[in-house]
Amino acid sequence: MKKLLLPLMLSLLLPAVHGQQPATPPVVSPEVHPDRTVTFRLLAPKATEVTLTTDWLPTNSTQKMEKSPDGLWSVTVGPLAPTGYIYSFNLDGVAMADPVNPLIKLRARGSGSIVEVPGPTPALWDLQAVPHGLVEINWQQSAVLKGEPRQVFVYTPPGYAESPGRRYPVLYLLHGNNDTAAGWTTAGHANLILDNLLAQNRAVPMIVVMPFGHALPYGTRAAGGRTNTETFEDYLVHDVIPLVEARYRVAAGRDQCAIAGLSMGGDQASHIFFHNLDRFSALGAFSPAGLPNLTADYPALLNDPAGTNSRIAVLWLACGRQDQNVTFFPNTERFAALLAAHQINYAWNPTDGFHNFSTWRQNLADFAPLLFRTAPAPGVVRTPKGK
């Protein structure tokens, strides 16, 4: 009898010894369905309200989630266009990333999560079976920022290591407000976009440099009378560019150097571009949060269109038509009209889309093929055009 009881007692005790709990079904979130609808879930039995915040809705818009008897909150949205999206939950007033999704979108403050919605065929921002470049993280103590440690992400194209005698043009690619130096890689998939464009022979091999754009602490608009954009310009020119030129085989000359950015980065890129035409020959402003006052600050450029056009290889503006809530689209449209009125060569590319990486991935895919060519790429309009 004792021999029979011992195995039974051990079977009852072992779960308690190992701290095992009764098995519960794992939470799956996000779940992308074949029809491109997506279900988001959060297990929070004690919560009273949970909402979903996403970047495909206007700012401050949320979607309510429903609670099941077992405390699982869920909502199904879509169908969504094939691309990547950023989302987060708000649990009784506290914003949080999805705790079961490993695709995290880091920010200067807080974090979110990323969901990738695939299409019937791979997009330019999807991982494909093509040669891949490398993304390296360069650490630097910034002299301009009094020794502050900074990260600079650098993409080198496929074949870079195998071509020691070759020098490459460089694109400085800037992120938006409350983002990090990793943003264009983790959420924008800039490296995959360049890989796929190169595999299709649609772009020139280039180095892409992605620094951290908050030269002042996040949320600080000015310090010592200088704005974040002004301080970042000094950091870029005196710290980042020398670092890149010392560590990478960068081709010499302004014709081999471009700058672009999204939102805050579009504002920074455009101000830095016009202030440093001796360094940069091409500009891409994607949903720019601000643009230079050319009439007040650069009247000579407007009054000499022939001379200005001879110095600008690409001046490319883009914004989503649904990006209206903080005047991104109207401001960009007015800037394009000013260029047209003064016969400055540019391209204005309004598209459907919100203020999100769905729009900016496409912007980069459209902009990169225009760079570092002796003549405009096929199909590119280089003369002023209207709306």
Report phi then psi at 42, rounded to 5: -145, 125
Taking alpha carbons only, the member of 278, 175, 187 closest to residue 232 is 175
Confidence (pTM): 0.89
Q: Locate the domains of the chain by residue range.
A: 29-117, 134-370
Note the CATH number of domain 29-117.
2.60.40.10
> In angstroms, rounded to a whole number, what is the distance separating the alpha carbons of residues 269 and 255?
16
Taking alpha carbons only, the member of 335, 296, 295 closest to residue 317 is 335
Q: In what order do the strands lie in the sheet with 66-67?
A: 31-32, 38-43, 72-77, 66-67
Extract the residue ranges of the chain whose pLDDT is less than 70. 1-24, 59-60, 223, 324-326, 375-387
User: Following DSSP, what letter does each residue of 215-250 receive, concatenated?
Assistant: SSPTT--EETTEEHHHHHHHHIIIIIHHHHHHHS-B
pLDDT tens column, 336-356: 999 999 999 999 999 998 899
| Six-digit token string for 295 | 């009439």
Nearby residues of 342 by Cβ (< 8 Å), 6 or more positions away: 302, 303, 305
Q: What is the pLDDT of residue 20?
A: 53
Q: What is the pLDDT of residue 360?
A: 97
| Percent of residues in the chain assigned helix, strand, coil, to nearest 5 | 30, 25, 45
Q: What one-character DSSP code corresponds to residue 68?
A: P
Please state which CATH class domain 134-370 belongs to: alpha beta
